Amino acid sequence: MLHIKGRVLVGPGDEHAAGGGVRDEMWVVDGRITFERPAGARDVRLVEGWVLPGLVDAHCHVGLDAHGAVDESTSEKQALTDRDAGALLLRDAGSPADTRWIDDREDLPRIIRAGRHIARTKRYIRNYAHEIEPEDLVAYVAAEARRGDGWVKLVGDWIDRETGDLTACWPRGAVEAAIAEAHRLGARVTAHCFAEETLAPLVEAGIDCIEHATGLTEETIPLFAERGVAIVPTLVNIATFPRLALGGEAKFPRWADHMRRLHARRYETVRAAYDAGIPIFTGTDAGGSLAHGLIGQEVAELVKAGIPARDALSSATWGARAWLGRPGLTEGAAADFVVYETDPREDVRVLTSPRRVVLRGRVVA
């Protein structure tokens, strides 16, 4: 049994919490949260500090590296790295590896899978995706909707070797039919998108979320806000754009210039999305070429973009969990939370240094 004492940041919507959604203490009994003092409790372990629900990395890739699927040992190390950083709920936004075995491990984060990426033929990273043509899109989306945990991941745009720049991967009719099929099967659809022109057709087709969303403009931001389409900016990944541009400049100078421009206005883009009321959630894009365990840095990037600290925290905790249909710090919920030395609402940089990580009621880090 655990007794957590200090400041438990339960977030908005708790009628019993003090102003700002704060309680003074909680307990963990049989792996579950309770705010009622247990009768006759013995052998209680005291944990003190500032408490947040387990952080959410809403865009990562367990089971994937720069070359494709990895073995279980490597997947385990990736999941443990995220866990020790406080990321206890992961939305795996595409992986060719079967990671269902992780669900049986009490010491590893919970994963919401989007199945395997679905990309246009020769229009994505080798060994990552199903590479298909538009006439097969509905069938593949249906298969991944059944394979995943309520999400499907499309590759919305990628470099086109003929134009030498980013272009959309799918015709409007094909993507409309595919999204409708996913929704019929109870799954939401998200898409990797960098470019400006890719966005409006996907939103008008009914998509639920866009990853990266670097191409948002003053024309498309109101459309996202009106439709309630979420974005996961992955700013720690967008920081790599200059390096990517340098590597591809000799062969694709137009694309390289485009990537640099998207990078240069990344903070302005995210702040404009926030100001318009677009739902924003944290994701790192870990697992391709990026390391795992960067969720604290991603929250700090949102703050650097101009999002207030409390809202940036919500993008990684209360708000993200509600969006994904998972509980936070509520009575009877599984005890997945992170303890910090100081108040993360005052300085989100503390997220990179958890004092304790508690998963399924056990102190694991």
Q: Structure tokens of 212?
A: 């990266």
Extract the tokens encoding 316.
Answer: 């990684």
pLDDT for the residue 43: 73
Enumerate domains of the chain plus CATH numbers: 2-52+328-363 (2.30.40.10), 55-324 (3.20.20.140)
pLDDT at 300 (0 to 100): 98
Higher pLDDT, 68 or 18: 68
Report, as an integer, the average pLDDT of 14-43: 86
Q: List the beta bridge partners of residue 89.
A: 56, 110
By the 10 Å C-beta count (0-12 exposed, 13-18 middle, 19+ buried), 178 is classed as buried
The average confidence (pLDDT) of the chain is 96
% of the chain beyond a pLDDT of 70: 99
Tens digit of each residue's pLDDT (9 = 90 or more) over 62-79: 999 999 999 999 999 999
Instruction: Decide if pLDDT at 18 tops 90.
Output: no
Query: Each residue of 334-351: pLDDT tens digit?
Result: 999 999 999 999 999 999
Q: Read off the pLDDT of residues 213-237 as tens digits, 9 standing for 90 and up.
A: 999 999 999 999 999 999 999 999 9
Distances (CA, A) of 179 to 10, 11, 96: 34, 33, 21
- What's the token pair of residue 34? 């309770």
